[in-house]
Amino acid sequence: MRNFILLKKRYLVYLFLFFPFIAEGEPGDLIEYNYQESFDLTAIEIGLAIVGGLGFATPEYTISCYDIKYKSENSEGNLDTLSGLVVIPNSVTQAFPILSYQRGTGILDIEAPSISGLSLSNLEVFLVGYLATSSGFITLIPDYVGLGNPNIYHPYHIKDSYIRAVVDMIRAAKQLSKFLPIENSFQNNDQVFLAGYSEGGYATLAAQSGIESNYSEEITITASFPMAGAYDLAGTMVDYFLSEPEYENPYYVPYVLTSHIWYYQGVNTDLNMYFEPYWAENLPTLYNGTFSGSQINNLLPDNVLDILKDSVLIDFTNNEDQFLRQTLSQNTLLDWVPDSPTYLYHGIADDQVPYENSVVAYNDFQSNGASNVILELLPESAGGHTSAAIPSIISAYPLMTGHMNINQKGDIDGDGDVTLIDQAYLSAMIINDLSLSDFQNWSADYNYDEEVNVIDILMISDVAESGGF
């Protein structure tokens, strides 16, 4: 008879957290966590009313917030420390889906979600943390590589960095759930959702492509909601950069360019190869996490491309083999077929990331044979890039909850109810020593004694025969 000893797992995590010298660790290992705060239903209801209006949504669960640090592998194959915010619905009797939400562009280290928490200073993170979690999602908000950590630059719009950050944070959050005391613990079921806006929209689609290509045996994406991302870096965005001398937020442009140079050529690359001397000297300081986007905007020339050397700009404009054109092409998120239901959201009045990015992506996916990709274009009334964030999230929310499951103890097959099928599944699992997911182990341990045995079979049978939940 198979025993599933969850206490042993908790003990192993304890050893890792408090005795890290035992091993360097693996990508996704939880390094440390910190409890931040909890919110009751009244506070959540008031918060949702502030952002979405009275009666917009009714919270079902109180929530608690934790910031975490975890291991992740960098482009050189070494382990870095990344961070993020975990917001959990408070219930120890139910298993919830994971939502990894990728936030929009932030540049200040102090604005990293793990540091700022659920603050009204970032309405996007505030809304998602309140809305999704109080509805029953375990909400993960990665800081991304380099944000929240002053010692690492942020590889802005480098697809691989987002894949690693998202995958490893999902792994770390699962470890957190095993380490917390039983009365504060949470359980994920086997559903995983991805969503994000702006940079987060790009990060979401990048993470989806990476997970479906390389991590599908570990993570199955239930549905993905990329919103207003620059998916067509090499096409739509290059055309936009070259056609618009004035940008709403010009700091985006050197943010992309410097991160691509540092990522592919190294942080010690002589920026004088690409930028005018003043900017070659000062860009590393401006993008060290201590200057805001608006501060950088005020320093940049009217035409932000004037920071480039004339020869570089001419080559960038006319030569598709130019280095930066090539790196943008490598990080364009086209020419693949999403396996999971994918909902693309974009406002047609977007003044920073043209909505054609989503149109091009949608058409590309369709032509490649995708059957489960939907494009939703928000009207001009939704506003520009910044203004359309909240309407996009609110529009996606009903579809997201339509895909979600919340499971009770004993619901081993994850169909939303406890039936005799679950009893039969559990019996076969014990007899045949089947390998189960963490959710199935948790669900099967009906009496919380950290063992799965015939007693659990009898208890689940009683529940099933009485009509389940």
Instruction: Please report whether residue 180 resides in a domain.
Output: yes
The CATH number for 445's domain is: 1.10.1330
The burial of 162, by beta-carbon neighbours within 10 Å (0-12 exposed, 13-18 middle, 19 or more buried), is given as buried
Angle at 9 between CA 6 and CA 14, to 5 degrees: 130
DSSP state of 162: H
Q: What is the pLDDT of residue 13?
A: 44
Q: Is residue 66 part of a domain?
A: yes
Which tokens is 431 given?
A: 């007899």
Task: Give the pLDDT of residue 24.
Answer: 65
The per-residue pLDDT for 40 is 97
H or E segment at 128?
helix 123-135
Q: Are residues 54 and 143 in the same domain?
A: yes
Same domain, yes or no, for 346 and 460? no
Cα 205 off chain centre by: 10
> What is the pLDDT, as a whole number, of residue 442?
87
In a domain, 214, yes or no: yes
- The SS3 call for residue 464 is helix
Are both 284 and 423 inside the same structural domain? no
Q: Last residue of a domain, which of 302, 330, 358?
A: 330
pLDDT (0 to 100) of residue 247: 83
What's the average pLDDT block by block, 10 residues per block, for the chain (469 residues)? 36 43 74 97 95 86 98 89 97 96 94 94 95 98 88 92 98 94 92 98 98 96 98 97 85 97 96 98 94 96 95 96 97 97 98 97 97 97 96 97 93 85 82 79 83 83 74
Query: Same domain, yes or no, for 362 and 275?
Result: no
Torsion of CA 354, 359, 365, 369, to 10 degrees: -170
pLDDT at 189: 93
Whether residues 95 and 172 share a domain: the answer is yes
Predicted local confidence at residue 468, as pLDDT: 62
Identify the domain containing residue 288 by its residue range. 241-330
Same domain? For 275 and 415 the reply is no
Residue 284, domain CATH: 1.10.260
Q: Name the domain count of the chain.
A: 3
**pLDDT at residue 8, as a whole number:** 38
Q: Are residues 27 and 116 in the same domain?
A: yes
**Hey, is 95 helix, strand or coil?**
strand
User: What pLDDT is recorded for position 55?
Assistant: 77
**From the CB of residue 448, how many other CB atoms can be counted at a distance below 10 Å?**
13
221 and 252, same domain (yes or no): no
Specify whether 177 is located in the same domain as 59: yes
Scan for tokens 């058409």, then name that residue.
Answer: 363
**Per the structure block, which two tokens stand in for 324?**
């930066």
Are 39 and 187 found together in one domain? yes
Whole-structure pTM value: 0.92
Residue 401: what pLDDT?
Answer: 97
Whether residue 50 is found in the same domain as residue 117: yes
In a 3-state reduction of DSSP, which class is residue 338?
coil
Q: Do residue 227 and residue 350 come from a single domain?
A: yes
Q: 374 near 342, Cβ under 8 Å?
A: yes
